[in-house]
């Protein structure tokens, strides 16, 4: 495996690369690097190498269907053309797929941000959790629309991704406060809207996102505050169609307590599921849609055929 691909895998695992869109872009770049540097002698050997590389990239962050979906899309292209093209042609397909997909992702994010910004009322208090480039784009777009609002970003222990969000928003001139996770209920009393990102969306419309998201959604519901998730349709998880659950990544306990007493057990789940009933809507590249519509819209966009 090329050293640059190994580095991408390591950076995704260590959270140097984080956020579903950033992870997906990095993985597509890794597959393109592997394609350009392949030493395969036959088309079938090339496809096998690309499949193995895509699998390793996917395993670097189990709860990222956007990455899996887009990698699978690229593999599907070369699988269909293996008999008609030589290896250099197949490699070019992978490289072109990366370039075109990244451009489409950026276009989708722009449209999504415009739809999301319209949801933010003037003089609103917006709550958010973890770091989502998709969510921050919404807030930045709202500022460009000259809306007046403030944001409370929760720190998101144990890796403190909320600091990334707070810093990013502050640099654009947005009024932002970083708060401890335990203060969710306190700030919800004055909140007008909650906007979070998404790592995955299931066939039932449930949201898989950073641990703490479900708590925030429950508190929002009990305080009659609207809760939205910014999620491109490619974040849909096809494996949930027949009841398979998204794998919840459990990270190193040392992230929570480096030198914990031997008799203390530590759990460090990175993600959790938030039921669709707590979600007012998903902000997507085609508009704001209810959770129960995400499945139909996503399968249509991704070209998933349930019955053939």
Task: Determine the 3-state secondary structure of 288 from DSSP.
Answer: strand
Residue ranges, comma separated, of all CATH 1.20.120.420 domains in the chain are: 3-106
Query: What kind of architecture, by CATH, is found in domain 118-302?
Result: 3-Layer(aba) Sandwich (3.40)
* DSSP, residue by residue, 39-96: --SSHHHHHHHHHHHHHHHHHTSSS-HHHHHHHHHHHHHHHHHTTTS-HHHHHHHHHH
Is 0.85 surpassed by the pTM of this model? yes
The residues, ordered by sequence, that sit 6+ positions from 152 with a Cβ below 8 Å of its Cβ are 125, 126, 127, 128, 176, 177, 178, 179, 187, 191
The residues, ordered by sequence, that sit 6+ positions from 293 with a Cβ below 8 Å of its Cβ are 205
DSSP H or E stretch at residue 176: strand 175-179
CATH class of 3-106: mainly alpha
State the catalytic residues. 130, 199
Rounded CA separation 11/33 (Å): 15
Residue ranges, comma separated, of all CATH 3.40.50.10470 domains in the chain are: 118-302
Q: Write the pLDDT tens digit of every residue in 283-304.
A: 999 999 999 999 999 999 988 8
Per-residue pLDDT of the chain (308 residues; tens, 9 = 90+): 899 999 999 999 999 998 889 999 999 999 999 999 999 999 999 999 999 999 999 999 988 999 999 999 999 989 999 888 999 999 999 999 999 999 999 999 999 999 999 999 999 999 999 999 999 999 999 999 999 999 999 999 999 999 999 999 999 999 999 999 999 999 999 999 999 999 999 999 999 999 999 999 999 999 999 999 999 999 999 989 988 888 889 999 999 999 999 999 999 999 999 999 999 999 999 999 999 999 999 999 988 866 55
Tell the residue number behind the tokens 């932002």, with chain if given.
Answer: 176
Q: Identify which of 287, 255, 285, 286 has the alpha carbon closest to the alpha carbon of residue 268.
A: 255
């Amino acid at each position: 495996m090329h050293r640059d691909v190994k580095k991408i895998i390591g950076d995704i695992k260590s959270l140097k690369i984080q956020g579903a869109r950033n992870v997906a872009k990095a993985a597509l770049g890794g597959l393109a690097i592997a394609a350009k540097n392949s030493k395969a002698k036959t088309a079938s050997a090339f496809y096998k190498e690309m499949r193995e590389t895509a699998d390793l990239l996917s395993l670097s962050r189990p709860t990222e269907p956007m990455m899996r979906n887009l990698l699978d899309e690229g593999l599907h292209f070369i699988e269909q053309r293996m008999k008609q093209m030589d290896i250099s042609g197949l490699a070019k397909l992978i490289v072109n797929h990366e370039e075109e997909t990244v451009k489409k992702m950026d276009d989708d994010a722009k449209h999504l941000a415009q739809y999301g910004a319209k949801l933010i009322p003037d003089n609103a208090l917006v709550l958010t959790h973890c770091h989502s480039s998709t969510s921050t784009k919404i807030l930045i777009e709202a500022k460009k629309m000259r809306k007046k609002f403030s944001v409370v970003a929760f720190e998101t222990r144990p890796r403190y991704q909320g600091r990334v969000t707070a810093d990013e928003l502050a640099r654009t001139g947005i009024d932002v406060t970083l708060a401890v996770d335990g203060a969710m209920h306190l700030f919800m009393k004055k909140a007008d809207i909650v906007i979070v990102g998404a790592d995955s969306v299931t066939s039932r419309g449930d949201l898989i996102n950073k641990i703490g998201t479900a708590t925030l959604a429950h508190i929002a519901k009990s305080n009659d505050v609207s809760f939205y998730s910014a999620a491109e349709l490619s974040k849909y998880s096809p494996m949930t169609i027949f009841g398979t659950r998204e794998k919840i990544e459990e990270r190193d306990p040392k992230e929570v307590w480096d030198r914990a007493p031997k008799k203390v057990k530590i759990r460090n789940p990175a993600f959790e599921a938030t039921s669709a009933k707590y979600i007012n809507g998903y902000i997507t590249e085609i508009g704001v849609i209810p959770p129960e519509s995400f499945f139909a819209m996503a399968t249509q966009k991704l070209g998933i055929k349930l019955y053939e």
